Structure 1
């Protein structure tokens, strides 16, 4: 079969069918001759018998294919043509065997069967094994030459018998199926026969589906499924669906084809199966737009499109070219765009559209829009020729491009209206806390925005339309982003930090981590000796399979009683404090901010330093994944390199204030003074390692290149790169690899840091840097055994108010294993705090259950005795102990 034949038939045929359908559907009352015309069409359709000989040439195979098509133009012309006077004809019949041609003489009112009889006399081929093809259509025995529009000197082709086909069982099943459809359509049989035919239609479709080759061999699958399509079964089923009294039977039969467990179909089957569903969609498109069967077919095709795109990328159908997709899918996209506009308007009426219905329409819209956009990209010559200028009327398919853009603009306007409504509701009710979660229908706004943003990039002047609208509606957009789930495709939002706020960015990057699904049988268990905290933690974490962390961590200190989340939080905090301890050679603290760190260039004094950097990357990622604030932050030079960005002079201000000021002076220095070589600078850097100093050239031959007013900018840049990039590149790479081990997808590592501002990561690692607010602390605390007015509770808060900021943090850590609150303050904790009345004697120290944020406070007889005990537990070495045994 030639590709051109297939392409032409698949493009031309539906247009005739759609016109014919429209005539039928638009008529409120059919006349008798209309019924006769339809019956004749179906009779022609279901009497087609394809016969294929294995020895046929390529040209004959093409004829075979063309013979499978149904020419509705010929049918309509034949029906409407007046009966003419019989005339003598002569025409040619080319034989399959040997390629010979014979001449036939007949009258125009002779039947095709009589022609078959003449051929038998010439060739000896039994009539029952013959098939005649003319103009791509197999001729039926009962038809006359006049009805078949045979002209003088016409060329016909004789094709072989059906049982020689490669798929005889498939042909036979389809033949039986069409016979039942014909009888149901004509309705001439008895009631019992028609009931049997109705059951047989469903049974034969099931049988055909079971015959689909189980392997993923493309040729076998294509050959099998093409029988179904080429025999005209989709057309026959749709005609049955549109005929009186047969709608339910046809509906059920077609739906069988929509639900053959599509997930389990081999990818090759999905590709070919999609072409059949597309055929149903085109045939049914002339029905009412809300026809449930048409919607089901369109939705199934969209589902298959998703599966095919995942499996094959830009290869959607074997027969599909970019121009085919543009023509075929644009109507679906426009329909679904209009449907979404109606859904969005109705979404504010709770009794109308449900969120599930809207989500389904969004999915279908996306399924057709994505391949359409790729086809547009291919058609205009790739991304280099985008965006499209709509003023360029010479561009091929410009009407289609304009039509798509018109639909997109309408949908953007409707989304903008919906977001505005959300914003008004947030302003009027959100402050009172009445809106805790968005309505289910609101969840669909973000995925719609994503697709619209992708389309707008194709049009000049519209590239920033959606993003500009999102900036205007920043409040409702950020509100909705915080409710996105891991299954949502949300990475596109990370490109637009000017739209999102910290909470939204944090939510988006946190979804890059796998969800912790605690499985007590699969927990990654650790038993750590406090005296060997760093070494033993390194062994447990660095040597483990990262997958094991996804089932949760179980942490226990040797010879201590406590276990649970509180102990785990303490372990994270203590290990990270040990890693970034200034006495440890792995990291350097910034002179201006001792909480801020970057890798130490001389960390190689430890032979395992790179392994420890990998361990550190895992620890920081695990702390973030478990939402533990560890009280340290990264300096800008470290953060930028993790994000794959360059480091400039302004970025080193905190890491090395002296070098920063020196470089600034060089850049601002008088040119004549610098050119006089008064500073004696060359392109070298002096480095101190292990007590010795050495000279490092910043570039080849650097020791002989004098710094002057023309090259000073280059000198400063090379100095910065050598000091803060080249010298720690290995350490940064190993940290990044360790961090990536914990992410759900390792390649997201750079995107994680690119998507954040440095200040965002500070908040995620260190939490709030504000002093603890005792008033908020008190408001977030409940009591058990005590009342808020009891003397002990009043004394307790008075004592806390009088503590230093450091003592307050130690007390909070003793109570909760949380030393640094989230940026939201106490309200950001997963639980309220509790003070329990302890049963122990008042001469005992307070105790805590950090897992439950519970402080057990004995009933001290005086404020002084309580203060003495609280002073003891606010010492660091006491607050980090859970008792020994």
Structure 2
């Protein structure tokens, strides 16, 4: 009923009469009453209480007010009136929230002028030497986003009906498309100019927001209509301003990086972004770990008490029962049963994450399979279908642990295979991804080589039946007894890959993905998180550096207590470290700090220094001891290099 009254109000011309009373009345009281009447429709508290369809009907009313103020304003200066801008702002809000309830043709016909108008204001502000005003920028974003949504739908329908006789085709919004394309080209030129002015120091928040809004606008319009001039210009701007785009990304705060326009653009920009920039965007989707100062006002940190002898079972129960709020919004601390820890728990948490990942990705647990030529790289194991329910729960737990490792920037030494990475990058993992043949090269080199051989054979050889290729298990409906020939071999290979690496582990993938998604600020960002990165990026973030440790850099990050660099014991210590294998060095580092795999940037990326302290109460017969909470190694005063080396070799044994 209210919507009908609003419709009558608009159609009767009363909206325009109210505007004329506001503009032309010589009596101040009439002017202010007319203004107050129009402002009633800008009252957010009143609009919030309206039903959705009524809220949408306020859009035509705001449109009538705006049109009347432009046409009837003395001196044609209606757009400068503050009330006009207030009403236009309300129209933008209504369209952004409820525009999908309005007819598409109405939105396209009536909002295109407002999108162009606000875009021109943005450009005019820049040309006058100022950054665009925030209100004009946000209104432009709302108008243009609504137009992109409706235009995409209309053009898709038009393309689908293009083969039908002309009498069945729908009219195409050609004029509006041309106008908006020209506007997008002008905005792209503005983006290029803004990027060229981007300072080397962190840019202002307003500059960052302006660039992201404009970039997202131009990019979204290319999805609506692929204008070759606009597309070529966008690609050239991205290529030519790659360094400035990296500065923009690194200068964007975490909260802004999580907004829809940045999340949508990130995968499209990643080919010109540096690793640090891609990591910055992905890390913004993870919660920020709470430091000690952050947690002062929280009731209690979230503490896990774990028995080392039952590490995996204890950890599974604690983490699986924990709420998402506890894991993301409390300070996680881990304590091992019967072990004392200092006030600094970071080292224990790191050690716990590494040990739990070792246990979860142990092939004997059957959740994951290691790749034949790289035992640190894993894909989902179809054998985990046995003990089905419990294994799915453990896979959900594994997803949470990987999320925590990324959140706390702990390199746990685990790498994902491409078959797993590609599927996690999909928004809807219940759909079948089209894995490329090369995606399975690490997971199953023999199958990869066989399939490639089938695809590269001469057609006459495949079609002759010499190979005798028929599926040993049904890879597609009705396909068990169909011989492979030159016409269907590509389909056979695609279906075989999908059957082995997708269909057989679908439920396992869903469980793992749900666990990982629960560790993100917004669980719906899981696909975007992986699309923002290359697989090699995730390797660096989770797996760390696999090369030999730079002992000189290691020395430079150590301070001494009770020793100095010139003491014989210290010289023997570093000489022994240099003589160790890379694997032994990693085990020693893990014993000392609970860090087994260094970040890509080495010791600088750890964020803390290491300590070697003289063990005062221990004789030369004792082994070194450590406190991973303090990153401290207690080194006894050994009397020879041979003794030092033998003691460190014992420490570096795998199961110490």
- State the TM bucket, normalised to the shorter chain: 0.7 to 0.9
> In 2 relative to 1, CA 527–666 (structure 1 residues): closer, same or farther, beyond 3 Å?
same
SS in 2 for 1:497: helix
2:287 is equivalent to residue 505 of structure 1? no
Task: Check conservation: 1:456, 1:466, Cα contact below 8 A.
Answer: no
> In 2 relative to 1, CA 787–384 (structure 1 residues): closer, same or farther, beyond 3 Å?
same
Relative contact order higher in (CA < 8 Å, ≥ 6 apart)? 2
Q: Indicate which of 310, 335, 358 corresponds to 2:121.
A: 335
Task: Check conservation: 1:302, 1:364, Cα contact below 8 A.
Answer: no
CA–CA separation in structure 2 for the residues paired with 1:785 and 1:635 = 46
TM-score by length of 2: 0.80
CA–CA separation in structure 2 for the residues paired with 1:632 and 1:549 = 21
Counterpart of 1:94 in structure 2 is none
> In 2 relative to 1, CA 777–364 (structure 1 residues): closer, same or farther, beyond 3 Å?
farther
Counterpart of 1:542 in structure 2 is 320
SS in 1 for 2:370: strand
2:241 is equivalent to residue 473 of structure 1? yes
Question: Is there any run of 5+ residues in structure 2 with no aligned partner, and where?
Answer: 160-170, 427-432
Q: Indicate which of 598, 620, 624 corresponds to 2:406.
A: 624
Task: Check conservation: 1:836, 1:857, Cα contact below 8 A.
Answer: yes
SS in 2 for 1:568: helix
Task: Check conservation: 2:95, 2:146, Cα contact below 8 A.
Answer: no
**CA positional deviation for 1:306:** 6.8
- What does 1:65-76 correspond to in 2, within 5 Å? none
CA–CA separation in structure 2 for the residues paired with 1:623 and 1:398 = 47
**CA positional deviation for 1:508:** 1.3
CA–CA separation in structure 1 for the residues paired with 2:363 and 2:572 = 39
**CA positional deviation for 1:309:** 5.4
> In 2 relative to 1, CA 875–14 (structure 1 residues): closer, same or farther, beyond 3 Å?
farther
- Post-superposition CA distance 1:273-310 (Å, at most 9, x none): 97799699966996799x8x84x984x66765675456
Q: Indicate which of 633, 642, 646 corresponds to 2:434.
A: 646
Q: Indicate which of 154, 159, 164 corresponds to 1:382.
A: 154
Q: Indicate which of 269, 272, 283 corresponds to 1:496.
A: 269
Greater shift after overlay, 764-773 or 401-410? 401-410
Task: Check conservation: 1:842, 1:861, Cα contact below 8 A.
Answer: no
Q: Indicate which of 178, 191, 196 corresponds to 1:417.
A: 196
**CA positional deviation for 1:486:** 2.8
2:151 is equivalent to residue 365 of structure 1? no
2:530 is equivalent to residue 753 of structure 1? yes
Counterpart of 2:349 in structure 1 is 568
**CA positional deviation for 1:840:** 3.8
2:391 is equivalent to residue 408 of structure 1? no
Counterpart of 2:584 in structure 1 is 807
**CA positional deviation for 1:594:** 0.9
Counterpart of 1:29 in structure 2 is none
Q: Indicate which of 580, 599, 612 corresponds to 1:822.
A: 599
Q: How many residues align?
A: 614
Task: Check conservation: 1:640, 1:647, Cα contact below 8 A.
Answer: yes
Greater shift after overlay, 788-797 or 641-650? 788-797
Counterpart of 1:554 in structure 2 is 333
- What does 1:421-432 correspond to in 2, within 5 Å? 422=199
CA–CA separation in structure 2 for the residues paired with 1:789 and 1:818 = 27
Task: Check conservation: 2:56, 2:99, Cα contact below 8 A.
Answer: no
Counterpart of 2:165 in structure 1 is none
Task: Check conservation: 1:337, 1:408, Cα contact below 8 A.
Answer: yes
CA–CA separation in structure 2 for the residues paired with 1:834 and 1:285 = 77
Larger radius of gyration: 1
> In 2 relative to 1, CA 11–476 (structure 1 residues): closer, same or farther, beyond 3 Å?
farther
Query: What is the root-mean-square deviation in Å for CA atoms of aligned residues?
Result: 4.4
- Post-superposition CA distance 1:388-434 (Å, at most 9, x none): xxxx9994458954773564254134224324xx4xx5xxxxxxxxx
CA–CA separation in structure 1 for the residues paired with 2:115 and 2:471 = 62
SS in 2 for 1:764: helix
Counterpart of 1:724 in structure 2 is 501
CA–CA separation in structure 2 for the residues paired with 1:8 and 1:637 = 63
Task: Check conservation: 2:181, 2:221, Cα contact below 8 A.
Answer: no
Counterpart of 1:43 in structure 2 is 26
Counterpart of 2:549 in structure 1 is 772
> In 2 relative to 1, CA 873–408 (structure 1 residues): closer, same or farther, beyond 3 Å?
same
If each structure's helix is expressed as a fraction of its own residues, which one has the higher value?
2
CA–CA separation in structure 2 for the residues paired with 1:674 and 1:455 = 46
Q: Indicate which of 656, 665, 674 corresponds to 2:444.
A: 656
Task: Check conservation: 1:309, 1:315, Cα contact below 8 A.
Answer: no
SS in 1 for 2:133: helix
**CA positional deviation for 1:381:** 7.2
CA–CA separation in structure 2 for the residues paired with 1:415 and 1:448 = 10
**CA positional deviation for 1:269:** 12
> In 2 relative to 1, CA 824–369 (structure 1 residues): closer, same or farther, beyond 3 Å?
same
**CA positional deviation for 1:523:** 3.1
**CA positional deviation for 1:733:** 1.8
Counterpart of 2:208 in structure 1 is 443
**CA positional deviation for 1:549:** 0.5
TM-score by length of 1: 0.61
CA–CA separation in structure 2 for the residues paired with 1:581 and 1:380 = 48
2:264 is equivalent to residue 483 of structure 1? no
CA–CA separation in structure 2 for the residues paired with 1:855 and 1:451 = 55
- Post-superposition CA distance 1:138-168 (Å, at most 9, x none): xxxxxxxxxxxxxxxxxxxxxxxxxxxxxxx
CA–CA separation in structure 1 for the residues paired with 2:462 and 2:173 = 60
**CA positional deviation for 1:478:** 1.2
CA–CA separation in structure 1 for the residues paired with 2:14 and 2:176 = 19
**CA positional deviation for 1:339:** 0.9
> In 2 relative to 1, CA 286–777 (structure 1 residues): closer, same or farther, beyond 3 Å?
farther
SS in 2 for 1:463: helix
Counterpart of 2:168 in structure 1 is none
2:383 is equivalent to residue 602 of structure 1? yes
CA–CA separation in structure 1 for the residues paired with 2:58 and 2:559 = 59
**CA positional deviation for 1:721:** 2.3
> In 2 relative to 1, CA 278–718 (structure 1 residues): closer, same or farther, beyond 3 Å?
same
- Post-superposition CA distance 1:745-791 (Å, at most 9, x none): 22222222233222122112101122111122222334455444444
**CA positional deviation for 1:322:** 4.1
SS in 2 for 1:494: helix
**CA positional deviation for 1:8:** 8.4
Task: Check conservation: 2:350, 2:595, Cα contact below 8 A.
Answer: yes
Counterpart of 2:163 in structure 1 is none
SS in 2 for 1:382: helix
Task: Check conservation: 1:587, 1:598, Cα contact below 8 A.
Answer: yes
- Post-superposition CA distance 1:417-462 (Å, at most 9, x none): 324xx4xx5xxxxxxxxx6x45666534344433343456557221
**CA positional deviation for 1:819:** 0.6
CA–CA separation in structure 2 for the residues paired with 1:288 and 1:516 = 51
CA–CA separation in structure 2 for the residues paired with 1:598 and 1:456 = 36
> In 2 relative to 1, CA 772–673 (structure 1 residues): closer, same or farther, beyond 3 Å?
same
SS in 2 for 1:555: strand
Task: Check conservation: 1:772, 1:808, Cα contact below 8 A.
Answer: yes
**CA positional deviation for 1:647:** 1.8
Q: Indicate which of 7, 10, 15 corresponds to 1:6.
A: 10
CA–CA separation in structure 2 for the residues paired with 1:212 and 1:779 = 61
Task: Check conservation: 1:767, 1:821, Cα contact below 8 A.
Answer: yes
Task: Check conservation: 1:780, 1:832, Cα contact below 8 A.
Answer: yes
CA–CA separation in structure 2 for the residues paired with 1:654 and 1:665 = 17
CA–CA separation in structure 2 for the residues paired with 1:496 and 1:418 = 19
> In 2 relative to 1, CA 281–468 (structure 1 residues): closer, same or farther, beyond 3 Å?
farther
